[in-house]
């Protein structure tokens, strides 16, 4: 899904994933992408970055006011039975190498002896720390790809990603922009008419 992104956009996505994990979310939403863009305004055109909230702290604060999720619900549940998920992950890395958890997250689950059951990856994804991508992020990427195609660009850049995000109706990132004093419509107009 992210293979059409340029290196700067991949940096934004990686930062968004880190923020989602730090917030205890097991999904990647437009709100996390906005938080990452607010942390890296240097990757956006100056005219656009000046329209974003002044600091990532403002976005984080507005997000906390909207979403009151407990930090890492799976790890907290495991702690009640004496299992420290972070310690288990560290032991897996020490024993099998740094990329072991990534390979585990990509491993295909096959259950030929129970073809009627849908394979479950909950344990492996929990250990690998993988997360789901919300539909509005996928929509934002589709809009961004259309914009990149329209502009004859090979890859989605951070400005295109932001344009895709503001194009998605009811995206939490748009609410956060409004809550922090930014106008998604103004950002959309500026990005739609920008040349580079």
* pLDDT of residue 158 exceeding 90: yes
What is the C-alpha to C-alpha distance for residues 56 and 184, in angstroms, rounded to an integer?
17
pLDDT value at residue 120: 45
Task: Write the pLDDT tens digit of every residue in 69-85.
Answer: 444 556 666 677 777 77
Among residues of the chain, what percentage have pLDDT more than 70? 76
Note the pLDDT of residue 171: 92
Assess whether pLDDT exceeds 90 at residue 50: no
Q: pTM of the prediction?
A: 0.69
Closest residue by Cα to residue 9 from 180, 170, 154, 190: 154
Instruction: Name beta bridge partners: 156.
Output: 5
Task: Just give the CATH number of 7-69+133-193.
Answer: 1.10.1780.10
Portions of the chain given CATH number 1.10.1780.10 = 7-69+133-193
Confidence of residue 37 (pLDDT cuts 50, 70, 90): very high
Asked if the model's pLDDT at residue 140 lies above 90, the reply is: yes
């Amino acid at each position: 899904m992210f293979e059409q992104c340029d290196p700067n956009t991949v940096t934004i996505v990686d930062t968004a994933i880190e923020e989602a994990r730090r917030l205890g979310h097991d999904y990647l939403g437009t709100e996390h992408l906005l938080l990452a863009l607010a942390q890296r305004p240097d990757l956006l055109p100056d005219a656009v970055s000046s329209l974003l909230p002044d600091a990532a702290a403002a976005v984080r604060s507005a997000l906390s006011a909207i979403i009151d999720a407990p930090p890492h619900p799976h790890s907290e549940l495991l702690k009640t039975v004496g299992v420290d998920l972070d310690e288990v992950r560290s032991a897996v890395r020490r024993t099998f190498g740094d990329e072991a958890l990534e390979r585990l997250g990509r491993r295909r689950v096959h259950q030929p002896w129970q073809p009627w059951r849908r394979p479950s990856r909950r344990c492996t994804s929990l250990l690998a720390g993988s997360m789901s991508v919300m539909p509005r992020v996928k929509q934002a990427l589709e809009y961004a790809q259309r914009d990149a195609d329209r502009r004859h660009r090979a890859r989605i850049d951070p400005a295109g990603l932001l344009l895709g995000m503001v194009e998605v109706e009811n995206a939490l990132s748009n609410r956060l922009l409004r809550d922090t004093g930014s106008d998604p419509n103004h950002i959309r107009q500026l990005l739609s008419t920008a040349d580079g």
